[in-house]
Every structure is written in structure tokens, then in C-alpha cells.
Amino acid sequence: MPFSFEIRKPENMTNTLIYTRQKIINGGGMFLGDEYSGKFSGKGVTGVYTTDNSSVKITITKKPALYPVSAVKSVIENYFGV
């Protein structure tokens, strides 16, 4: 079941996305996007993100049943520097 959450938008979104893209791709995943929106997947998790002036909205569209929502959220927050 999909779930969404928001995080504070990083001050330097460009650098954050470079870091996030590298972490996901180096882990065998896929990341496509820019400072406004994108999509990612890896280790059975698929999601999308959009940004506005102050936040990043992340929607996880698919995750393995064994992964708790809290664990997926924690990993994604870490990628975005929260």
C-alpha cells in the first residue's frame, strides 16, 4: 500500500540529489529526477518525489511486505539529509 511523507527541503537541493542518486545507484537501484520531481527504486522499494519551496513530498508506491514503513522512511530521510 502506498504511503507518503514530507521532509524539510535541503538548503542545497542540487548537492543533495547528487548524493542521493549516487547512494541509490551504487546500491543497485535507479534514480531519475531533478530539483522539482523524480522517481527512484531499489531493493524492492519504488517511489516518487516532488518539491516545493520548503519541503520534499515523498510517496513510496511499492515496498516489500517485510520492510516496516518506519524503516523505509528512515532510509529515505537519510538519503535526503534529514
Q: Would you state the pLDDT for residue 42? A: 95
**What percentage of the chain carries pLDDT values higher than 90?**
90
Asked whether residue 82 is assigned to any structural domain, the reply reads no
Asked whether residue 79 is assigned to any structural domain, the reply reads no
| CA-wise closest residue to 76 among 40, 33, 32 | 40
Q: Would you state the pLDDT for residue 82? A: 56
Q: Would you state the pLDDT for residue 79? A: 86
Q: Say how far apart CA 1 and CA 20 lie, in whole Å.
A: 24
Looking at the whole model, is its pTM more than 0.85?
yes
Range of the domain at 51: 3-74
In the chain, which stretches have pLDDT less than 50? none
Q: Would you state the pLDDT for residue 1? A: 82
Tell me how many domains the chain contains: 1
Asked whether residue 80 is assigned to any structural domain, the reply reads no
